[in-house]
Structure formats: C-alpha cells, structure tokens
Amino acid sequence: MAEKEGFYQRVVRNNNRKKIFRLIRKRRMITKLEISQILGLSITTVSSNIKELIRKGFIKESGYGESTGGRKAQLLEYLPDSRYSIGLELKENHGRVILADLDCNIIKEKVYTDLDLSNLVKCTIRILNSFIEEVNAGDKLLGIGISLPGTVDVEKSILESAPNMGIKRADLSKLRLAFGVPVFMDNEANCSAYGEYEFMELEDQPLFFISVTEGIGGAIIVDKKLYNGKNHRAGEIGHITINFEGENCSCGNKGCWERYASVRALERMISRKGLTEFSGLDEIFSAYSKNDAMKKIIDEYAANISYGIRNLLMIFDPSIIIIGGEICRYENQLLPEIKRNVFQNNDFYVETDVDIVFSVLKENSGIIGAVLFVIDNI
Ligand SMILES: [Zn+2]
C-alpha cells in the first residue's frame, strides 16, 4: 500500500495525523469518537492514525470514558514524556540548550559560553553533541530546533546576516545531517512568534511579534504560517524610518525605529539625562515608581515604541501584536503608556480593534518556539 500512496494522499494523511495529535495534546484524554466529531474525520481515518500513534508510543489506551448508551468508549491518553526535543538558542556571547518534553516543559538546561564564532558549524556540533551525550535521550530524541540571531534562509539553512555576531552568510546546512535526527532552524523572532502563537492557541488570527532587545526584530504569522517574504526579511521592522532627519543608524539609514525604541536606545536616553546610577533593566524599571525623572524617560521610551506599532498597524492590520525580547518582563511599566500612545488621536484604530500584549513565554519564547518546530513537524 505504501508504494502506491501518491504525494497528495501522503500530505492528507500527515495533515490528519498532525491534527489528531494536536487535539489529543490539547485535550490530554479523549475518545476516538470525540476526535472524529471535533475534526470531522471518519472513524476509519481516526482509528488508523491512532493505531500508528500508539505504535510509536505518543499515546496509550487508558481506561474507559462515560458510556453514551452503548459500550463505554476507550479513552486515549497523551504521553508528554514519550519523546524529547532539544532547543538551542544561539546568541552573540552564549548558546543556551534545553531538553524539553512534548509539552515543552524544560527538563534540562545548559548554557555554553565558549563559542567560537569563526566556525559556527563546528562550534554548534560540539555544543549539541556534548549536550546530547549528557542527556542521553537515545531513541526518545525527536529532533533539534535552533533559534538564530539574524536573518535566515530556512530552505537552504543559511544564516544570512547576524551583525551582532559579525556573521555574513554562514552555511549551516551541514547541521541538518550531523545528529541522526531532524534539525530545524529559524531566526529568533520567527521562533518566538511561533512559540507564542502555539501557546496562546491563536488559530488563524494574524499576528505580529516584536522582539525588543539590543535592536528590534519582528515576525509575522498569517494563515497559521510564518510569513518570511521573498528575501526572508519580512518583519524586520527595526529599520523602518520613523524620523527621516533623525539619528544615524548602524544600517546606514537615518531615524530607524530601533534608534529610538530598542533597549540600547533606552540606555542612551537614560545616560543623556545623567541617571547613570541605574544599571541593568531590572534596576531601571524598578525605579519607575520611585524616581520621577526615570518615569518620564520610560514614558517617553514607551511612546517611541508606540510610533512603530502605529506604522505596523497601518501596514498589516493584525489581530494581535505581541511584544517580547529583553523588555518582556516590564509590562506594568510599559504597556499602559504604549497603548495610550497607540490609540490616542488615532482615527483608524480603537483599543478593541487589536490586542497589544506582552509575551507569555517571556525569555523562553525563542527556544520553546524552536522546540515546537520539531514537535509540530515530525
Ligand atoms: Zn537602521
């Protein structure tokens, strides 16, 4: 039968299995009849996919549910620890690696600071092999997801540009075959957007994820998929011009949004006002309620963030904008002022038109998103 199955049948079968697996993951315990009713699939299709999922150990038969008149229905139980995935988050000065179960619970975590960026492939293989040996997940290892700090050509596995790492066009395709399990990679903002999208169970609402760190990155999910654009640069919103006579940006342009709304920009605003006694974001944001000068700077910074958001609303009209990155922990100090500036004097948008929220996964959104690429693509 397998030889005769054409491409179309194979795609349909894989999609059905994916839908069934995702439903069981969401519901934890469910019967075949419920799956068939919820997904609108025939009992025969559900049964054959369930058989395969049981054979592979992702789920098991587990007792019986309420009777609906006839025989009691067999319950199927989701087994989150039946497989593990590895997530790697590469940054300019460290690599963070996690082992996660199918629910994305972090089982083990390690940070490697001895990166040799002159040979990224070799360095990544070394880190991952050392972690794989340590966790010893054997056959239970499903795959590896990698979050990269730059623009990525996902099809060719090329890290095209990572200015903070001083990297231009690093070919990472050798990583695909280096570990005996599937390897997925994408840029940090895309990984984060995907992580948030899955955790918030957003279905088909268009989403824009903004990552505010040293610079500003972004990612777009539309029709349940990441949208990368023709040149893999869609969502690179840090370099939209918000002030055409403004400050010089590292990209060569003037007045880019990230010159005013990145974490570096906030630090510059603080040092210009001479508030040098505060260092680190925790100290800066905890001064918000105690220090009037700091409150003023942070409010101005929140307004700077809102200018870019107003632009992207007009271009993209998303259902939800998620703000993540290094500022993700300071929602209380930033979000009210961001929203006030986005919606005041705005003829096009009122607050009920779009949700503007902070990341739910916080600093784990990129690495969990990388893990979810593995889980959702197997
Ligand atoms: Zn720029």
H helix intervals, the chain:
7-27, 32-39, 43-55, 120-135, 188-199, 258-261, 263-272, 281-286, 292-316, 331-343, 365-377
Contacts with 282 (C-beta within 8 Å, 6 or more apart), sequence order? 329
Looking up tokens 């030889």, which residue turns up?
Answer: 3
Does residue 372 sit in helix, strand or coil? helix
Q: Would you say domain 201-359 falls under CATH 3.30.420.40? A: yes
Say how many Å lie between the CA of residue 254 and the centre of ligand 1.
Answer: 7
Domain covering 83-195+365-377, topology: Nucleotidyltransferase; domain 5 (3.30.420)
User: What's the confidence (pLDDT) of residue 115?
Assistant: 87
Reference 240, options 323, 320, 311, 192; nearest CA is 311
pLDDT band at residue 203 under the 50/70/90 scheme: confident
Whether 83-195+365-377 shares its CATH topology with 201-359 is answered: yes
Burial group, residue 164, by CB count within 10 angstroms (0-12, 13-18, 19+): middle
Q: Rounded mean pLDDT of 203-227?
A: 93
User: 109-147: per-residue pLDDT in tens?
Assistant: 999 998 888 899 999 999 999 999 999 999 999 999 999
H helix intervals, 236-291:
258-261, 263-272, 281-286
Say how many Å lie between the CA of residue 231 and the centre of ligand 1.
Answer: 17
Domain residues of the chain, as ranges? 7-78, 83-195+365-377, 201-359
CATH class of domain segment(s) 7-78: mainly alpha
User: What's the confidence (pLDDT) of residue 96?
Assistant: 97
CA distance 325 to 120: 23
Say how many Å lie between the CA of residue 199 and the centre of ligand 1.
Answer: 31
Contact 284, 266 (CB under 8 A): yes
| Side chain identity, residue 69 | G
User: 280-320: per-residue pLDDT in tens?
Assistant: 999 999 999 999 999 999 999 999 999 999 999 999 999 99
Say how many Å lie between the CA of residue 370 and the centre of ligand 1.
Answer: 27
User: What's the confidence (pLDDT) of residue 166?
Assistant: 82
Say how many Å lie between the CA of residue 214 and the centre of ligand 1.
Answer: 12
